[in-house]
Amino acid sequence: MAHISLPDGIPGIRGPMMFRPETAKPLNELVDVLLRGPHPLSPGERELIEAFVSSENDCTYCQTIHGAIAAHHLGGDEELVRSVKRDFQHAAISDKLKALLAIAGKVQLGGKHVTSEDVDQARRLGATDLEIHDTVLIAAVFCMCNRYVDGLATWAPEDPDFYRQRAAKIAVDGYVASTLGSGAATAAG
């Protein structure tokens, strides 16, 4: 049971977002810019960073929904998502993304864990300042979202199909529309 009275039957972050629409608005806008805005990293790559950080934070709802969205963007490859969460250094992804995931993992522990060697390594593998900036910020944002979701003890459904269906919707409509959207969106959740 959630720690406060949230709308019934609404999973994960969407419960507190409905409870407090004033803060939901900038939260969704921030996530939309970071994960879906114009970018040299594909939405699939950015969702992988996000799913990885949420997995390191052991946040069931976030890592499952963002893992499902990542898989959706990556042609349905759920095994790739699992391999990134499990051991990204041996996953079938680019060396640049591995270096960015290493930075994201440091941010998850604490910002000061990121060293100039980590950043140099990412740069040698082709990462730009914008990609490094956004990797740090994606990791930081999900250290917030994970704590928000778990700190209020929100409901995480167990059925993997629930996440697959939500993921397909979010991949098309984005966070702002899907999370705060119509009754239809709520029913789909």
Partner 1 sequence: MPHIHLPEGLPGIVSGFAFRPETARPMRELAEILLRGPSSLTSGEREMIATFVSTRNDCYFCQTSHRAAAAHHLDGNYELVDAVRFNHQHAPVSAKLKALLEIAGKVQQDGKAVLAEDIERARQEGATDLEIHDTVLIAAAFCMYNRYVDGLATFTPQDQQLYDQMGARMAREGYVQPAHRAQAAADTH
Residues 114, 37: Cα–Cα separation, whole Å: 25
Residue 41: Cβ-neighbour burial (10 angstroms; 0-12, 13-18, 19+): buried
Nearest CA among 45, 3, 20 for reference residue 134: 45
20 CB-near residues (< 8 Å, 6+ apart): none
Question: How near is the Cβ of 29 to partner 1 at its closest, in Å?
Answer: 4
23 in contact with partner 1 (CB under 8 A): yes
- Which of these segments, 24-32, 65-73, 84-92, 159-167, binds partner 1 (CB under 8 A)? 24-32
- Taking the least distance from each CB to partner 1, the nearer of 58 and 79 is 58
Instruction: Report in angstroms how near the CB of residue 143 gets to partner 1 at its nearest.
Output: 5
- How many other CB atoms sit within 10 Å of the CB of residue 52? 28
Question: Closer CB to partner 1, residue 29 or residue 79?
Answer: 29
Which parts of this chain interact with partner 1 (CB under 8 A)? Answer: 3-5, 16, 19-20, 22-23, 25-27, 29-30, 33-34, 37, 57-59, 103, 106-107, 110-112, 114, 116, 119, 129-130, 132-134, 136-137, 139-141, 143-153
